[in-house]
Each structure stands twice: as structure tokens, then as C-alpha cells.
């Protein structure tokens, strides 16, 4: 091997530095703390019994071309291969050995140009790539090719993942094309460094040091995103401060954009609709006012001068106190289209949030977004996307899919998921969210008959929308391990993987992540992936089983408070949502109640509306059900509810035991950190079970069924003090 390396010809400006770096990286990897910083991009040596096989197939790297993105490809492959193979792999100008790995585009690589793959690469779009084993110049090689350099980078990460997960690499025949175009993280980061609903430390963007000083960590952030195909990042909170659009902040934003660019991550900003007043000194922000439109146009031109690949604006308008076009009696479409006109000459987009719940008194918040927006179908400009949360209320542990999916056929609808766990135990609880997102993606809207899944609405295959996308509210922060909980990383990873390919199973994502991040022990992987797949249902069980929702403590949303009724708006109070009384429990959204169910297409609405056919996991979302109602198990509603709460608690105990038994398969540092969090999760699950059951018992007036433990405190004690995290 050593001999092979010394014989290589060099094309890269600083190959010695790259190799030295790789060796350094490798040594560092062996000695560095297991604090989770490396995420899933850990390149520790492959098991000795397989390493030879991989070494034979990766003997040299042929990545010609000069650009920041190609530098990133070289650095990643060089570091990755050196770490995984336990040997530095040299850079070469041309193929002169079996086992050459050639990466690039037909433009950057003469070897790839000779293959004449332009047509097939074009079919995969700008981000797609091919990876093939083939013979070139009588040598057995692997080619990673794309029509763009960023696509080649995605291919390089894919290739490294194959190594990390011990996949065969001798007969590669891979064609990858992302199913959605915009694959974004939305950061709810404030300009003072705090993060709304953030549980992993402070914001990663140090506004006071920018633009002069850019934290090197930002490059690692971009790199991690690129490794799973995330290609956009909205830097600031949707509850936006107009200052972000000031000249000073735009220079800071440009410095971040420059850092992200080599990794294909475009920057977006949340725009405050009233910015023309606050920044521009205008009297109004009315979207049909000429001066207002001209102000936005000038602002867009200024942004693109600094950031030529700026993605566009994300807007929360007329929601939870934010200004918007409704302030001037204009529609959401009029507001969005005015901004879209300013961005269109630069190919920017407006992402308009559907999280609006202006409603008539006494109507149903779950019906409000549809009522407000569905009538505007077909009225949005071609560069507007409507960003719809997965469910009609607000990122609850479980919700039915939002009726706007399949409800606006002439609108480019994208999905907003929440990776940060606002309602799911913050960064204390272990919950694998891809399992929940799969439920939403697989939901059949029946908008155009059977098989009209949410996935098909999103990827344009149902209605042929031109722009497609998905956004996840980020769970990252300044914590050394990025996400607070080590398992929170799996949600960031899983979001990216599903954004790229929404057909991946959650098991595949769980196993992949575990192998890359935690352990290569096959038995341990099976156990951990099993727990990951069970975790979402378990959290639902101890928080909001059977379709309950929004029963958390006001303000922070961490612990339970089903009794809560003091918020100024009725629909911010848990009592509004569970409607417990002596007869029973649940929100009647059928014809006898709010009739929100009518927003779904037949037969979904009939299925939900009928007590006999409504999935029990959503029962109390759609129905007010008597305490003695017989569930499919034969248990009464009350007993079933109590048993679900107990099951959730039992799962936390089982998980702690199984995790304990994995001690030898995972490094001590991360093993102990997770064990500590699991202890908190058990404490919290008991708290949720006891508070909810004690409170609901005041209505059901029935004893706890056999198998459900007695509460640890009284209801008054639970009411007196919120659960602390």
C-alpha cells in the first residue's frame, strides 16, 4: 500500500497536505472524545475481517478540477477513506490502478467526459448522481458522476455511507435522484442567539462576530446537511425581526452563505411582512401599495447582489400576532405574490406558511388553516410554495394528516415537519421521528382516488406541481453533540434521508444511522433500531394516546397540564381540545360537532367520521366518546386510556433495561449520556400518566384498571408545579 501511494502522480494543488490531514484526522478520531460532535460522519476503521475487501476496491481517488465544492469532495473522500480503511488513499490525476474512484461531472473530469453520460445524468436533475463499477483503461474502477459538482458531492457521501454501513461495492449500479427539490431546515433562531423551541443550546450563528469571524463549526453544519442531501437553510425565526434584512445583517448572512455554498446549502431568510415600515420608514406594508412593492423589489436586488444564490423568503403572516396582508384586508395570496414578484427576476421563491388560525369565535382551530387558505387555491404566483404543517393543529405527538394535502390541487404545497421536539419531550426524550413522518407521508388523501398519498402530493406526481419541497424545524444548537440528545441526531439524519427519498422505510433509516453513528455490533443494531421504531408510539402512549392532543403545560409545552384553562385564547387551552366531561372525552369534529372532518375527501372523511371505522389512534381527535364505550380490545374507553398510559411508562423501563445491556457495544461516554436521559424520560412518562389519569378520573369517576400503577402524587401536587426539564 505504502508503495502504491508513493507512486501516484498528483493533480491536486496540495495533495501532501490532504494526505497528511487524512492521517491526522485518523489519529485524532482514535483519540477524540466520544461527545457526539462527529454525528454520523464517523470514519473509524472498518472491522478487520472486511477491511481488505474495501481496500482492494478503493486504491486511489481521481477527482480533478478546481472549485470549493470539488475541494470538499476531495477532503471528504480522503478523510473518509483514510479513516475507514485505516490507510491514506492518494489522489491521482488519472486511472492507473484497479480500485480507482473517479468523481466529478463531465465538465470537471476528463474521465467522466469520455463516458458520454451527459444525457443520463441530465435525467437525474442537478442533484442526482450515478455510481457504477466499470472497466476504464483496462482497470476496474468506480465512477461517481453527476451533472453538477454538488451532485457529485452527494454521490461521494453516498459512497462513503456504503462503506460505513458495510455494503458491497464491487458491482455498483446506482442511480439516485432526490424526490423533492427543496430539502430545507428552518431555524427558529433569534438575533439575540436564543432559539424558539430550541433545546440544544444557543444559535449556531454568532451574529455579533459575523461577518468578520465565521465559526468553523458552520462548515461542519453544512457538511452534515450535504451528507444527507439537505440543500436549504432558513437562518432566522419565522417570528421574524425585520433587522435581519438590514444592510448590516445581510453582510453577516452573506458570510454564512459563502460558507455553506460549497456544500450546496442555500440560505433563506424569514421576512417580517411589516419590514417596509420598520426598516424602510414607510407608512404601510399594504401589499398593493406601489411604494411597498418597490421597497421589496429594491431589497431583493440588494440581497442578490450580496448572495447571488439566495433561496428566498419564508413568511409567517397573520399568525400568532405576526403582521401580514390580512392587516390591510388583503388576502394571503396578494401578500405572497407581491413578495414573489420581487424575487422572481432572481429565481427566488416565497415559502408562505399555512400555519394561520384566524377563526370565527367558537369555531375549531383544527379547521382554520383550511378555511382560510383553500379558497385561494390557484391564486398563488408560480414561485410561491405553501408550507403546511403535518397536521391541522401544531406538531402534536400524533395528528391526522393536514387536510390541505390534497385540498389545494392548483397550489405548490410543501410539508413542514418539526425535528425539534417542542411537544415531544424536548431534547430529553428518545423518540425517532421518521416513524411519525412516515405515517403522514403514507396517509392516503384520496384526493384523486386511492393511492393519492401525501408523498405524491408533495413530489408533484399527483398534481404536477413545478416546485416541490419539505422543511424541518431544526433541532440543532451550540451543544457539543448538536442536538442535545444523542438520538436527536437520528431525527436530523432521518429528516434528510426522507427528504431525499420519501420511500425509505423508517427501519432502513434507523439501522443505517445506528450503524454509522453508534455501533457496528449486529445484535446491538437490531436492538437499538427496534427501540427506535417503537419509540414514537410509546411517547404517544404516555403523553396523548387515542387521539388526545394539546394537553401540555402552557408556555413551555414540556409536561402535562390537561386542566389548563387560563390562556387568553380558548384554543391555547388544553380543556378546549380534550373536552372531558362526565359523559366522556374527545373533540367532536363530525357533523354533530365542528364538522372539521368534512375537509377531507371521501372516503377518508367518512372513515374518520364514523365511530366504528375511525382509527382508534385518532379516536378522540374526531369524536367525543363515552367513558364506557367498548374499544376493539373489549376494554372500555377509560380502561384502554389508562392501559395506554401504563404501556408508555412500561416501555421507558424496558428501554432503560435494554440500553443498560448494550453497555459493551457503545462507547461509555455516549452510553452514559443516553442512560441519564432515559432516566429522565421514565420520570416524565410517570408524571404524564399520573397527571392525566388523575385529572380525567375526576370526570370518569372510575378506578384504575388492573395493571395500571397507583399515582405517585396527588392531582393537586401535579397541578401545583410544572415538570422541570
Euclidean distance between CA atoms 505 and 230, whole angstroms: 18
In the set 364, 394, 479, 541, the catalytic residue is 394
In whole angstroms, the minimum distance from the beta carbon of 33 to ligand GCV comes to 33
Which residues are at the interface with ligand GCV (CB under 6 A)? Answer: 188, 196-197, 238-239, 316, 320, 355, 394, 422
Task: Considering the complex, state which of residue 197 and residue 252 has its C-beta at the smaller distance from ligand GCV.
Answer: 197
In whole angstroms, the minimum distance from the beta carbon of 399 to ligand GCV comes to 13
What residue has cell string 433509516?
509
Task: Considering the complex, state which of residue 127 and residue 394 has its C-beta at the smaller distance from ligand GCV.
Answer: 394
Residue partners of 560: CB distance under 8 A and separation at least 6: 543, 551, 552, 553, 687, 688, 691, 692, 718, 723
Task: Considering the complex, state which of residue 422 and residue 439 has its C-beta at the smaller distance from ligand GCV.
Answer: 422
Catalytic residue flag (residue 394)? yes
Euclidean distance between CA atoms 125 and 69, whole angstroms: 18
**Residue length of the chain:** 725
Catalytic residue flag (residue 422)? yes
Q: Are strands 349-353 and 312-315 parallel, antiparallel or unpaired?
A: parallel
In the set 422, 588, 684, 690, the catalytic residue is 422
Task: Considering the complex, state which of residue 296 and residue 355 has its C-beta at the smaller distance from ligand GCV.
Answer: 355
In whole angstroms, the minimum distance from the beta carbon of 478 to ligand GCV comes to 19
Contact of 354 with 404, CB cutoff 8 Å: yes
In whole angstroms, the minimum distance from the beta carbon of 320 to ligand GCV comes to 6
In whole angstroms, the minimum distance from the beta carbon of 164 to ligand GCV comes to 35
In three-state form (DSSP H/G/I as H, E/B as E, the rest C), the secondary structure along 590-639 is CCCCCCHHHHCCCCHHHHHHCCCCCCHHHHHHHCCEECCCECCCCCEHHH
Euclidean distance between CA atoms 267 and 231, whole angstroms: 9
**Cα distance between the two ends of the chain:** 53
Contact of 396 with 421, CB cutoff 8 Å: no
Task: Considering the complex, state which of residue 196 and residue 617 has its C-beta at the smaller distance from ligand GCV.
Answer: 196
Q: What's the distance, CA 89 to chain centroid?
A: 34
Q: Quick one: which of 288, 193, 287 has its CA closest to 241?
A: 193
In the set 56, 320, 358, 660, the catalytic residue is 320
Task: Considering the complex, state which of residue 449 and residue 568 has its C-beta at the smaller distance from ligand GCV.
Answer: 568
In whole angstroms, the minimum distance from the beta carbon of 642 to ligand GCV comes to 29
234: β partners: 186, 268
Please report the sign of the dihedral spanned by the C-alpha atoms of residue 551, residue 557, residue 563, residue 566.
Answer: negative
Q: Are strands 469-473 and 413-418 parallel, antiparallel or unpaired?
A: parallel
Q: Are strands 60-62 and 384-389 parallel, antiparallel or unpaired?
A: unpaired
Largest CA distance in the chain: 83
Task: Considering the complex, state which of residue 350 and residue 533 has its C-beta at the smaller distance from ligand GCV.
Answer: 350
In whole angstroms, the minimum distance from the beta carbon of 20 to ligand GCV comes to 45
Cα atoms in the 13 Å half-sphere on the side-chain side of 469: 32
Give me the active site residues, please.
320, 394, 422
Amino acid at each position: 500500500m505504502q508503495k502504491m501511494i508513493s507512486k501516484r502522480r498528483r493533480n491536486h494543488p496540495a495533495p501532501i497536505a490532504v494526505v497528511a490531514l487524512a492521517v491526522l484526522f485518523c489519529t485524532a478520531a482514535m483519540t477524540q472524545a466520544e461527545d457526539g460532535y462527529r454525528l454520523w460522519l464517523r470514519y473509524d476503521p472498518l472491522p478487520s475481517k472486511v477491511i481488505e475487501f474495501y481496500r482492494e476496491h478503493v486504491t486511489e481517488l481521481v477527482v480533478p478540477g478546481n472549485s470549493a465544492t470539488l475541494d470538499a469532495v476531495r477532503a471528504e473522500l480522503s478523510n473518509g477513506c483514510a479513516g475507514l480503511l485505516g490507510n491514506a488513499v492518494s489522489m491521482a490525476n488519472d486511472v492507473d490502478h484497479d480500485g480507482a474512484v473517479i468523481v466529478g461531472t463531465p465538465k470537471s473530469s476528463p474521465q467522466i467526459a469520455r463516458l458520454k453520460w451527459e444525457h443520463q445524468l441530465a435525467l437525474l436533475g442537478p442533484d442526482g448522481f450515478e455510481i457504477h463499477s466499470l472497466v476504464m483503461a483496462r482497470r476496474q474502477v468506480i465512477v461517481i458522476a453527476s451533472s453538477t459538482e454538488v451532485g457529485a458531492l452527494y454521490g461521494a457521501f453516498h459512497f462513503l455511507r456504503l462503506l460505513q454501513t458495510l455494503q458491497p461495492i464491487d458491482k455498483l449500479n446506482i442511480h439516485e435522484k432526490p424526490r423533492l427539490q427543496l430539502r430545507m431546515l428552518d431555524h427558529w433562531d433569534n438575533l439575540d442567539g436564543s432559539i424558539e423551541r430550541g433545546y440544544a443550546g444557543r444559535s449556531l450563528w454568532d451574529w455579533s462576530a459575523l461577518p468578520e469571524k465565521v465559526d468553523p463549526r458552520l462548515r461542519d453544519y453544512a457538511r452534515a446537511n450535504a451528507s444527507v442531501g439537505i440543500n436549504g437553510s432558513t437562518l432566522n425565526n419565522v417570528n421574524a425581526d425585520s433587522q435581519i434584512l438590514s444592510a448590516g445583517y445581510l453582510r453577516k448572512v452573506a458570510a454564512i452563505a459563502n460558507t455553506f455554498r460549497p456544500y450546496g446549502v442555500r440560505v433563506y431568510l424569514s421576512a417580517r411582512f411589516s419590514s417596509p415600515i420598520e426598516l424602510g420608514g414607510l407608512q404601510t406594508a399594504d401589499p398593493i401599495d406601489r411604494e411597498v412593492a418597490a421597497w421589496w423589489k429594491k431589497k431583493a436586488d440588494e440581497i442578490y447582489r450580496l448572495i447571488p444564490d439566495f433561496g428566498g423568503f419564508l413568511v409567517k403572516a397573520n399568525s400568532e400576532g405576526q403582521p401580514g396582508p390580512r392587516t390591510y384586508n388583503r388576502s394571503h395570496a396578494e401578500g405572497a405574490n407581491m413578495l414573489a414578484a420581487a424575487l422572481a427576476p432572481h429565481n427566488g421563491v416565497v415559502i408562505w406558511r399555512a400555519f394561520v388560525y384566524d377563526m370565527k369565535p367558537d369555531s375549531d382551530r383544527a379547521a382554520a388553516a383550511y378555511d382560510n387558505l383553500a379558497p385561494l387555491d390557484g391564486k398563488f404566483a408560480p414561485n410561491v410554495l405553501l408550507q403546511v404543517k403535518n397536521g391541522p393543529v401544531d406538531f402534536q405527538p400524533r395528528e391526522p394528516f393536514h387536510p390541505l394535502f390534497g385540498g389545494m390541487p392548483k397550489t405548490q404545497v410543501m410539508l413542514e415537519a418539526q425535528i425539534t421536539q417542542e411537544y415531544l419531550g424536548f431534547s430529553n426524550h428518545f423518540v425517532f421521528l421518521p416513524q411519525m413522518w412516515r405515517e403522514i407521508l403514507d396517509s392516503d388523501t384520496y384526493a384523486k382516488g386511492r393511492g393519492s398519498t401525501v408523498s405524491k402530493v408533495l413530489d408533484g406526481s399527483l398534481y404536477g406541481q413545478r416546485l416541490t419541497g419539505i422543511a424541518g424545524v431544526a433541532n440543532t444548537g451550540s451543544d457539543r453533540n448538536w442536538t442535545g440528545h444523542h438520538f436527536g441526531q437520528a431525527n436530523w439524519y432521518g429528516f434528510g434521508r426522507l427528504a431525499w427519498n420519501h420511500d425509505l422505510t423508517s427501519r432502513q433509516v434507523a439501522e443505517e444511522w445506528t450503524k454509522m453513528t453508534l455501533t457496528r455490533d449486529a445484535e446491538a443494531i437490531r436492538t437499538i433500531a427496534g427501540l427506535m421504531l417503537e419509540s414514537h408510539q410509546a411517547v404517544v402512549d404516555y403523553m396523548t394516546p387515542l387521539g388526545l392532543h394539546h394537553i401540555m403545560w402552557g408556555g413551555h409545552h414540556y409536561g402535562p397540564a390537561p386542566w389548563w384553562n387560563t390562556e387568553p385564547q380558548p384554543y391555547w387551552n388544553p380543556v378546549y381540545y380534550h373536552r372531558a366531561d362526565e359523559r366522556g372525552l374527545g373533540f367532536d369534529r363530525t357533523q354533530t360537532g365542528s364538522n372539521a372532518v368534512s375537509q377531507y375527501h371521501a372516503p377518508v372523511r367518512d372513515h374518520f367520521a364514523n365511530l366504528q371505522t375511525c382509527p382508534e389512534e385518532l379516536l378522540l381527535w374526531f369524536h367525543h366518546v363515552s367513558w364506557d364505550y367498548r374499544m376493539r380490545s373489549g376494554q372500555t374507553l377509560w380502561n384502554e386510556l389508562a392501559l395506554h398510559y401504563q404501556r408508555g411508562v412500561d416501555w421507558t423501563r424496558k428501554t432503560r433495561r435494554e440500553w443498560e445491556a448494550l453497555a459493551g457495544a457503545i462507547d461509555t461516554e455516549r452510553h452514559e449520556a443516553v442512560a441519564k436521559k432515559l432516566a429522565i424520560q421514565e420520570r416524565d412518562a410517570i408524571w404524564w400518566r399520573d397527571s392525566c389519569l388523575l385529572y380525567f378520573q375526576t370526570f370518569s369517576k372510575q378506578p384504575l384498571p388492573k395493571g395500571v400503577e397507583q399515582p405517585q402524587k396527588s392531582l393537586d401536587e401535579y397541578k401545583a408545579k410544572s415538570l422541570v426539564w
